[in-house]
């Protein structure tokens, strides 16, 4: 191992363990768990002299561009207002782009509208690109220049009407400095998804038909050539198209994901023959989640996956050495390289665990030391909170279910009140990572079980398919079987079990309230879906909505029979429903209507509508209110004391 890494990690250990202590037996203030991340998703500029991140101030999140060194360029702070900034990246040292999402009223209906913002790093300019021309979707950035020039490729709609050519995405090459635009791909009927290689050539397009649920793959070798249809697939036959994940330096070569051996793995792909070659990287029992590319975007340097926690396998020797040094030096914790400059001489590293919120550090190969960049939660600090571990239990049909168990710190783990907490998605998963909901509940004396029920992501195609047609059915059984396991292990008191969830997890809580009152003594739903049919009607205003409707009906063939809105009379347990009025993902009417139906039926329900709330708890005040409401509700129905 290189001496430069040993010195850096030694300093890191000193910084970390000097600050580590355990919280006292007294409860930690609720507001500390509710605090917004002080620093969120920091990304280094190409040189590594600056970084961009969301920061918390005044109970809100704002966008900041800051120098790494105090002697560097001035700090820039931008207020993003009510819109969601859902991602950002550096184009060159002077320019960034960000994805902005907002809800706009279009002809009497609320539509989710996306835009791309160009941000000058010195704060002198922030502009929404093609804003006047753009229709609903205008945030699909296909490529950014690798030579330091401020140029990108942007795909966007210019009309909301499907009988107009502009309904289908065109692709413009845009210079952020001059504002000049050049259309490189004109709209093609049916095509909304375009793909470009690392040189800026738009190589692929996917055309979809809502009417026939069929798709086409268009391909060309480079800009200026005509697109040809090279593959077709029918959704009704379970067919799919193979789309490159990474275009390699050789213009005839690419990498693709494929799950033909059971899990998502990486394969070689020949663009001249459009055929899949040898498998090059796979993880036994788990999907590969993500890839890391070199600065030029034409070579694979690492890939990420999640077993009990997120991990990265680096192929680049320098990054592999650094990761190994970090892993050896922080046993029991995770050290992740979050961002890196183009030269691989400066890195942002996060260090934390499922029991610690963690910190961000800057590592520079020239310094030979790790320097603290910021806390993730400055209220909680670097203390060790509730212990977390991964367990497995058998569902009633024998399926092995992986789950994350969090228990109160320094207390006996016998006959505890249990919180069943299913994740959202539902095609998502929980793993061993910091979870402010679970940690707050454990601090209050509750055990928390977070199962990755059938249909969860990351476990391969067979496990995902076991969730098909099982929304509200076998997926609920998996949750109930988790409660049974916890009771049999002596962890849970069967008389004190509550189900708590958000989004799909909120739906699962609503469903459990009328389906399993013998198991759950209460239910808490944040931003849950009570009416699957209404959700589909809401989605109809979006492009390719028939594809999403078809998918939902595959997950729940009889939508009405598994929609909680129709079972208000059958709910026999107290319910707490919380929903943000400005939720852009799940309409507030999903909780509002269910609460009304429950009250009409004379049921025990408390409904809280957060006037400024969204789907992601972007405001600290909403987080505080949520924890306060949940704490009081649980104390009333399944007290921990």
Q: For 210-227, what is each residue's pLDDT tens digit?
A: 777 889 999 999 898 999
Contacts of 404 (CB under 8 A, 6+ apart): 354, 388, 389, 390, 391, 430, 431, 432, 438, 449, 450
Strand order in the sheet with 275-281: 246-247, 253-258, 265-270, 275-281
Return the residue matching tokens 């809401």: 538
CB-neighbour burial class of residue 209 (10 A; exposed 0-12, middle 13-18, buried 19+): middle
471: three-class secondary structure by DSSP: coil
Give the residue among 469, 600, 603, 610 at the shortest CA–CA distance from 532: 469
Q: In this predicted model, what pLDDT tens digit does every residue of 345-371 receive, in sequence order?
A: 999 999 999 999 999 999 998 887 789
Query: What angle is formed at CA 312 by the lines to CA 311 and CA 315, rounded to 5 degrees?
Result: 160
* Domain 388-636 coded CATH 3.40.50.1820: yes
CA distance 625 to 636: 17
pLDDT classification of 14: cutoffs 50, 70, 90: very low
- Average pLDDT of the chain to the nearest whole number: 91
**455: alpha, beta or left, given left = phi > 0 and alpha = psi -120 to 50?**
left
As a whole-number percent, the residues of the chain with pLDDT over 70 amount to 94
Is the pLDDT score of 540 beyond 50?
Answer: no
Contacts of 287 (CB under 8 A, 6+ apart): 259, 263, 264, 305, 457, 458, 459, 460
Is the pLDDT score of 610 beyond 80?
Answer: yes
Is the pLDDT score of 502 beyond 50?
Answer: yes
The H-or-E segment that residue 253 falls in is strand 253-258
Give the pLDDT score at 535: 84
Provide the token pair at 547: 């594809």
Q: What is the mean pLDDT of residues 539-546?
A: 47
CA distance 90 to 93: 7
Give the pLDDT score at 9: 55
Give the pLDDT score at 12: 54
Q: What is the mean pLDDT of residues 118-131?
A: 93
Query: 65-79, 125-139, 615-629: lowest mean pLDDT where?
Result: 65-79
Q: What is the mean pLDDT of residues 176-183?
A: 96
Residues of the chain with CATH 3.40.50.1820: 388-636
CB 172 within 8 A of CB 118: no
Query: 12-21, 455-464, 605-614: lowest mean pLDDT where?
Result: 12-21
CA distance 144 to 200: 8
pLDDT classification of 18: cutoffs 50, 70, 90: very low
Task: Classify the C-alpha dihedral 127-133-138-143 as positive or negative.
Answer: negative
pLDDT classification of 548: cutoffs 50, 70, 90: low
Provide the token pair at 196: 């470009």
Strand order in the sheet with 346-353: 334-340, 346-353, 356-364, 369-375
Give the pLDDT score at 5: 58
Return the residue matching tokens 């929609």: 563
Return the residue matching tokens 């249990």: 418
CA distance 157 to 136: 7
CA distance 379 to 32: 5
Is the pLDDT score of 592 beyond 70?
Answer: yes
Q: Residue 291 CB: number of other CB atoms within 10 A?
A: 16
489: three-class secondary structure by DSSP: coil
Is the pLDDT score of 20 beyond 90?
Answer: no
pLDDT classification of 86: cutoffs 50, 70, 90: confident
Give the pLDDT score at 600: 98
Give the residue with greater pLDDT, 21 vs 154: 154
Give the pLDDT score at 1: 47
Buried/exposed code over 416-434 (b: 16+ C-beta within 10 A; e: otherwise): bbbbbbbbbbbeebbbbbb
Give the residue among 167, 170, 166 at the shortest CA–CA distance from 185: 170
Q: What is the mean pLDDT of residues 70-95?
A: 86
Task: Classify the C-alpha dihedral 168-172-176-179 as positive or negative.
Answer: negative
Return the residue matching tokens 């030694």: 10
Give the residue with greater pLDDT, 52 vs 15: 52
Give the pLDDT score at 8: 52
89: three-class secondary structure by DSSP: strand
């Amino acid at each position: 191992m290189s001496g430069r890494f040993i010195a850096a990690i030694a300093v890191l250990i000193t910084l970390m363990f000097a600050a580590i202590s355990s919280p006292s037996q007294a409860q930690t203030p609720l507001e500390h768990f509710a605090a917004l991340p002080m620093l969120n998703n920091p990304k280094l500029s190409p040189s590594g002299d600056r970084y961009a991140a969301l920061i918390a101030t005044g109970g809100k999140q704002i966008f900041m561009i800051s120098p790494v060194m105090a002697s560097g360029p001035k700090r820039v702070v931008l207020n993003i207002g009510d819109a969601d900034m859902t991602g950002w990246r550096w184009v060159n040292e002077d320019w960034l782009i960000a994805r902005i999402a907002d809800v706009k009223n279009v002809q009497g209906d609320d539509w989710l509208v996306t835009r791309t913002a160009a941000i000058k790093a010195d704060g002198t300019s922030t502009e929404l690109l093609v804003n006047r021309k753009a229709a609903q979707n205008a945030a699909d950035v296909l490529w950014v220049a690798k030579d330091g020039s401020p140029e990108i490729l942007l795909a966007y709609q210019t009309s909301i009407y499907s009988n107009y050519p502009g309904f289908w995405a065109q692709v413009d090459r845009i210079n952020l400095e001059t504002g000049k635009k050049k259309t490189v791909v004109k709209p093609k009927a049916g095509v909304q998804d375009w793909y470009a290689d690392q040189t800026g050539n738009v190589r692929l397009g996917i055309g979809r038909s809502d009417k026939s649920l069929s798709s086409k793959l268009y391909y060309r070798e480079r800009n200026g050539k005509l697109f040809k249809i090279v593959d077709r697939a029918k959704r009704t036959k379970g067919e799919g198209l193979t789309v490159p994940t990474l275009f390699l330096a050789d213009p005839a070569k690419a990498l693709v994901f494929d799950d033909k051996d059971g899990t998502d793995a990486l394969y070689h792909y020949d663009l001249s023959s459009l055929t899949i070659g040898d498998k090059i990287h796979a993880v036994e029992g788990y999907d590969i989640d993500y890839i890391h590319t070199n600065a030029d975007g034409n070579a694979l340097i690492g890939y990420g996956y999640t077993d009990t926690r997120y991990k990265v396998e680096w192929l680049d020797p320098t990054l592999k050495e650094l990761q190994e040094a970090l892993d050896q030096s922080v046993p029991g914790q995770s050290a992740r390289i979050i961002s890196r400059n183009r030269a691989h001489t400066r890195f942002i590293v996060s260090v934390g665990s499922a029991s610690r919120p963690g910190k961000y550090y800057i590592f520079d190969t020239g310094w030979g030391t790790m320097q603290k960049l910021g806390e993730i939660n400055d209220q909680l600090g670097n203390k060790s909170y509730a212990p977390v571990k991964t367990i497995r239990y058998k569902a009633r049909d024998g399926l092995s279910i992986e789950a994350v168990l969090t228990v109160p710190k320094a207390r006996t783990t016998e006959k505890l009140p249990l919180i069943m907490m299913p994740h959202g998605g539902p095609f998502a998963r929980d793993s061993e990572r910091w979870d402010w909901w679970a940690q707050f509940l454990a601090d209050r004396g509750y055990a928390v079980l977070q199962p990755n029920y059938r249909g969860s992501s990351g476990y391969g195609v067979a496990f995902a398919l076991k969730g098909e047609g099982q929304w509200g059915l076998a997926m609920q059984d998996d949750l109930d079987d988790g409660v049974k396991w916890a009771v049999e292990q002596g962890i849970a008191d069967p008389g004190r079990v509550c189900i708590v969830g958000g989004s799909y997890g909120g739906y699962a809580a609503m469903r459990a309230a009328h389906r399993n009152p013998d198991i759950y003594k209460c239910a808490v739903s944040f931003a849950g879906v009570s009416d699957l049919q209404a959700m589909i009607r809401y989605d109809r205003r979006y492009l390719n909505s028939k594809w999403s409707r078809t998918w939902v009906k595959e997950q729940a063939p009889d939508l009405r029979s598994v929609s909680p809105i129709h079972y208000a009379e059958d709910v026999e347990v107290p319910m707490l429903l919380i929903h943000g009025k400005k939720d852009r993902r799940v309409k507030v009417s999903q909780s509002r209507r269910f609460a009304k139906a429950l009250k009409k039926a004379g049921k025990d329900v408390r409904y809280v509508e957060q006037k400024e709330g969204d789907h992601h708890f972007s405001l600290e005040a909403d987080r505080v209110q949520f924890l306060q409401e949940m704490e009081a509700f649980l104390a009333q129905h399944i007290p921990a004391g």
